[in-house]
């Protein structure tokens, strides 16, 4: 019988194979070591632990707001002490509160802002540039001028301490695509948009850009939960007032505002309210308005507004909407208003505002915030907004703004609510659903709309800059004879209103009024200052 050949591996071949495998393994280990894979894996694990700890703290804070939308100390204490990994337990709430979760120390402010003490990740954030563009919405390395470099000690979850350098700032840097970066104040979140089309931020984390949903559209505006602001880019060299050649204020302060120059020089722009200041917001779930501003005499914006005789007999005024009690003395003058304005869609705008109210309510919005303060828009800021919104070098589109709620513009596809305004005394007849309603062009039938009512009044992320309400600015006017008490200061109002023509009262137009004067046509818009 012929024997079959038995195929197999010889001892020599086996030895050679093992040697080759050992060589390859050595090369692989060396490659892994040289590329820092082990270090990167360790760092990723650490980042995951940190992110988990941060999420625990933020969820506890979110669960601790009371029915008045205020951070409740008792609720916060209970929520924090339920966290797995908190050590030690919280015994007393004082601001700013420091807690330790999973080995990381966090600070919680009175307004609910959560930051990690000694967070070391700034040095690891990628640079954002035209040559190295990062995805929109991604946090990137701070620009040198936006923060100060300090030495910090980071306590890791295993108890070890690592010393490193970090940027300390009241802002963090976010890529908006195309290698461009904007400063976002801590406690605010990038919603979407590009610098040339309007970058939008919100003070509610639920509005944060998720990397896929375009949250800047008109259709999405009502879904956003927080107050929203739009970035107005400008340089310090170009930060100056613009005379558009259209003004009803023959004598006005042509000096450029100085208070905000430091911010313009440091950050290259500022944030302005996306909407006219609102006093209430429509809750889509219930179909009712939630009050944010409570007026001193319980005046209702939802019913007919009774117009009182104005100062010196001037009409269209109502003392019910004035915030300050020190300006006008009158037996019918209300108690001081409470609450904050909102910067949201479907809000009833704060009409009937006098100048002092506009200043106070703008200042009040973020008066307790650690990272920003708010204020009434200045004359220079309004001009920079016009420059940003304009698509022409001669500002012709700002001199004829037929994209707002003016008397001779017909607006359709409305959402939210509208109210008719009496042409003789400025009274309103209550807010009604705007669904299916179309404003009547040039009929003298005046209509006031809730904020963000139609895409027709949207331009580069901003609503109602043209028309709807005249908006107070901090720009002084020096009219010699107003027909009022000349001892009162006068200030410029901008943007036009629902009862004016878009060509004669465009967005760039400077009109004026005396500071204590209220009017159905008068509102305002806040800006943000980064601390």
Q: What's the whole-number average pLDDT of the chain?
A: 82
- Name the residue among 313, 385, 312, 306 with its Cα closest to residue 352: 306
Here the tokens at position 410 are 């017909």
Q: At what angle do helices 37-62 and 11-34 cross, to 10 degrees?
A: 50
Q: How confident is the model at residue 11 (pLDDT cuts 50, 70, 90)?
A: confident
For residue 471, the model assigns a pLDDT of 98
Average pLDDT score over residue span 512-531: 90
Q: Is the peptide bond before 225 cis (omega within 30 degrees of 0)?
A: no
CA dihedral 130, 134, 140, 146 (to 10 degrees): 30
Tell me the DSSP string of 399-421.
Answer: SS-TTSB-TT----S--SEEEEE
Q: Is the pLDDT of residue 451 over 80?
A: yes
What is residue 368's predicted lDDT score, i.e. its pLDDT? Answer: 85
Span 371-376, average pLDDT: 94
What is residue 311's predicted lDDT score, i.e. its pLDDT? 36
pTM of the shown model:
0.74
Q: Which one has a higher pLDDT value, 284 or 206?
A: 206
pLDDT of residue 81: 93
Kindly report, residue by residue over 488-507, the tens digit of the pLDDT.
588 999 999 999 999 999 99
What are the C-alpha distances in Å from 420 to residues 108, 447, 456? 46, 5, 19
pLDDT of residue 428: 81
Cis peptide before 328 (omega within 30 of 0): no
Alpha-carbon distance of 250 to 512, in angstroms, equals 10
pLDDT at 209: 97
Question: What pLDDT does residue 178 have?
Answer: 92
Which alpha helices (H) appear in 260-378, and where do they start and end? 261-267, 355-364
Lowest mean pLDDT: which of 148-152, 296-300, 395-399? 296-300
Cα–Cα nearest to 53, from 85, 9, 26: 85
pLDDT band, very low/low/confident/very high, at 415 (cuts 50, 70, 90)? very high
CB 346 within 8 A of CB 282: yes
More confident residue, 44 or 225: 225
Query: 181-185 and 288-291 as β-strands: parallel, antiparallel, unpaired?
Result: unpaired
The mean-pLDDT minimum among 17-31, 95-109, 362-376 falls in: 17-31
When pLDDT is averaged across residues 106-116 and rounded to a whole number, the result is 86
Query: What does the DSSP 8-state code read for residue 316?
Result: S
- pLDDT, residue 354, reads 87
Burial per residue of 355-393, b for 16 or more beta-carbon CB atoms within 10 angstroms, e otherwise: bbbbbbbbebbbeebbbbbbbbbbbbbbbbbbbbbbeee
In this prediction, residue 514 carries a pLDDT of 84
E strands present in 262-401 = 269-273, 278-283, 288-291, 293-294, 338-339, 347-349, 372-376
Q: HEC string of 108-163?
A: ECCCCCEEECCCCHHHHCCCCCCCCCCCCCCEECCCHHHCEEEEEEEECCCCCEEE
Where are any strands of DSSP class E within 130-245? 139-140, 148-155, 161-168, 171-175, 181-185, 189-192, 200-202, 228-233
- For residue 120, what pLDDT is reported? 44
Q: What is the pLDDT of residue 2?
A: 46
- The answer to whether the CB of 169 falls within 8 A of the CB of 148 is yes
Out of 156-165, 352-361, 478-487, least confident range:
478-487
Q: What is the tens place of the pLDDT at every residue in 289-323?
A: 777 887 765 444 433 333 333 333 345 776 566 66
What torsion, rounded to 10 degrees, do the Cα atoms 262, 268, 270, 274 define? 180
pLDDT at 250: 77
The string of DSSP letters for 458-472 reads EETTEESSSBSSEEE
Place of tokens 């640079």: 127
Cα–Cα distances in angstroms (integers) from residue 40 to residues 35, 37, 44, 160, 239, in the given order? 9, 5, 6, 18, 45
């Amino acid at each position: 019988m012929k024997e079959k050949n038995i195929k197999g591996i010889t001892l020599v071949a086996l030895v050679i194979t093992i040697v080759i495998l050992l060589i390859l393994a050595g090369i692989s280990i060396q490659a892994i070591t040289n590329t820092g894979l082990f270090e990167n894996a360790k760092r990723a694990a650490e980042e995951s632990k940190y992110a988990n700890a941060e999420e625990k703290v933020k969820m506890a804070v979110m669960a601790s707001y009371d029915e008045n939308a205020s951070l409740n100390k008792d609720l916060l204490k209970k929520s924090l002490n339920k966290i797995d990994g908190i050590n030690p337990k919280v015994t007393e709430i004082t601001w700013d509160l420091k807690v330790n979760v999973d080995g990381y120390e966090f600070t919680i402010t009175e307004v609910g802002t959560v930051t990690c003490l000694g967070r070391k990740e700034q040095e690891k954030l990628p640079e954002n540039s035209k040559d190295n563009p990062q995805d929109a919405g991604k946090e990137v390395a701070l620009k040198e001028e936006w923060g100060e470099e300090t030495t910090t000690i980071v306590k890791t979850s295993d108890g070890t301490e690592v010393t490193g350098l970090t940027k300390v700032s009241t802002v963090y840097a976010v890529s908006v695509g195309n290698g461009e970066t904007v400063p976002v104040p801590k406690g605010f979140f990038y919603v979407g948009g590009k610098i040339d089309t309007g970058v939008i931020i919100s003070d509610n984390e639920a509005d944060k850009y998720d990397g896929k949903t375009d949250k800047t559209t008109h259709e999405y505006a009502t879904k956003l939960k927080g107050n929203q602001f739009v970035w107005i880019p400008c340089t310090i060299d170009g930060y100056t007032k613009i005379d558009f050649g259209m003004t009803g204020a023959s004598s006005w302060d042509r000096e450029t505002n100085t208070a905000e120059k430091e911010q313009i020089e440091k950050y290259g722009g500022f944030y302005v309210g996306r909407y006219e200041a609102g006093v209430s917001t429509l809750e889509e779930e219930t179909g009712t308005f939630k009050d944010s501003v409570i007026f001193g005499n319980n005046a209702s914006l939802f019913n007919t507004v009774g117009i009182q005789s104005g100062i010196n007999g001037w009409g269209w005024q109502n003392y019910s909407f004035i915030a300050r009690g020190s300006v006008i003395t009158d037996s019918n003058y209300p108690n001081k208003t409470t609450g904050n304005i909102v910067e949201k869609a479907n809000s009833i705008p704060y009409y009937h505002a006098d100048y002092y109210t506009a200043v106070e309510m703008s200042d009040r919005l973020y008066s307790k915030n650690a990272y920003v303060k708010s204020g009434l828009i200045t004359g220079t800021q309004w001009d920079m907004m016009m420059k940003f919104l304009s698509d022409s070098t001669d500002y012709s589109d700002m001199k004829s703004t037929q994209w707002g709620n003016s008397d001779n513009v017909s607006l359709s596809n409305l959402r939210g609510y509208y109210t008719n305004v009496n042409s003789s005394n400025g009274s309103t007849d209550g807010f009604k659903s705007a669904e299916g309603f179309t404003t009547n062009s040039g009929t003298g039938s005046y209509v006031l709309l809730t904020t963000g009512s139609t895409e027709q009044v949207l331009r580069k992320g901003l609503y109602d800059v043209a028309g709807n309400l005249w908006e107070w600015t901090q720009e002084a006017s020096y009219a010699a004879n107003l027909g009022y008490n000349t001892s009162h200061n006068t200030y410029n109002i901008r943007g036009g209103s629902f009862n004016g023509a878009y060509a004669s009262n465009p967005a760039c137009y400077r009109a004026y009024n005396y500071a204590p004067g209220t009017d159905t046509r008068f509102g305002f818009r806040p800006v943000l200052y980064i601390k």
